Amino acid sequence: MNIHFDETALRDTQVVIDTEAIRFNFRNIKEMCGDNTAVMPVIKANAYGHGAGEIARVLHEEGAVYLAVATLTEALELRALSDDYEIFILGHTPDRLLEKVIDNRITQTVFSYKQAELLSALACGKGVKARVHLKVDTGFHRLGTDDAGELKKILQLPGIEAEGIFSHLALASYEDDMEQFRRFMNMVDELERDGFRFKYKHIADSIACVDYPEFRLDMVRPGALVFGLKGFHKGHIEIKQAISMITKISQLHRIPEGEGVSYDYCWKAPRDSVIATLPFGYADGYPRNMRDKGYVTIRGIKCPLVGVLCMDQCMADVTHVPGVSEDDIAVIYGDGTDNTMNIQEASELAGTNKNEIIARIMARPVRVYY
Ligand SMILES: *Cc1c(COP(=O)(O)O)cnc(C)c1O
pLDDT at residue number 98: 98
Which pLDDT band, with edges at 50, 70 and 90, does 235 fall under?
confident
pLDDT at residue number 247: 98
Domain shared by 276 and 177, yes or no? no
| CA atoms of 103 and 21, how far apart (whole Å) | 34
In this predicted model, what pLDDT tens digit does every residue of 42-63 receive, in sequence order?
999 999 999 999 999 999 999 9
Domain shared by 116 and 53, yes or no? yes
How many Å lie between the centroid of ligand 1 and the Cα of residue 206?
7
Which pLDDT band, with edges at 50, 70 and 90, does 230 fall under?
confident
| CA atoms of 193 and 197, how far apart (whole Å) | 9
Domain shared by 221 and 292, yes or no? no
Domain shared by 188 and 54, yes or no? yes
Domain shared by 293 and 255, yes or no? yes
How many Å lie between the centroid of ligand 1 and the Cα of residue 245?
24
Distance set, CA 358 to CA 51, 145, 180, 284, 330 (Å): 11, 31, 29, 11, 18
Determine the structural domain holding residue 299 and report its residue range.
Answer: 243-369
In this predicted model, what pLDDT tens digit does every residue of 242-291 receive, in sequence order?
999 999 999 999 999 999 999 999 999 999 999 999 999 999 999 999 98
Residue 354 Cβ < 6 Å to ligand 1: no
pLDDT at 87 over 80: yes
Number of structural domains in the chain: 2
pLDDT at residue number 298: 98
Domain shared by 73 and 210, yes or no? yes
- Report if residue 7 sits inside a domain: no
Q: What CATH number is given to the structural domain containing 37?
A: 3.20.20.10
Buried b (16+ CB within 10 A) or exposed e, 302-328: ebbbbbbbbeebbbbbbbebeebeeeb
Counting every residue, how long is the chain? 370
Q: What CATH number is given to the structural domain containing 251?
A: 2.40.37.10
pLDDT at residue number 54: 97
Q: Count CA within 13 A, CB hemisphere, residue 143.
A: 18
Amino acid identity for residue 120 in this structure: S
- Report if residue 162 sits inside a domain: yes
| CA atoms of 364 and 49, how far apart (whole Å) | 11
pLDDT at 232 over 80: no
Domain shared by 57 and 138, yes or no? yes
pLDDT at residue number 74: 97
Residue 317 Cβ < 6 Å to ligand 1: no
Which pLDDT band, with edges at 50, 70 and 90, does 364 fall under?
confident
Domain shared by 139 and 203, yes or no? yes
Distance set, CA 223 to CA 10, 40, 45, 229 (Å): 29, 9, 10, 9
How many Å lie between the centroid of ligand 1 and the Cα of residue 260?
44
What is this structure's pTM?
0.93
| CA atoms of 186 and 37, how far apart (whole Å) | 20
Our answer to whether residue 263 is catalytic in this structure is yes
pLDDT at residue number 209: 95
Distance set, CA 159 to CA 88, 113, 124, 370 (Å): 18, 13, 5, 44
- Report if residue 58 sits inside a domain: yes
Give the active site residue among 174, 263, 265, 370.
Answer: 263
Nearest to 261 by CA among 248, 247, 249, 273: 273
Domain shared by 213 and 360, yes or no? no
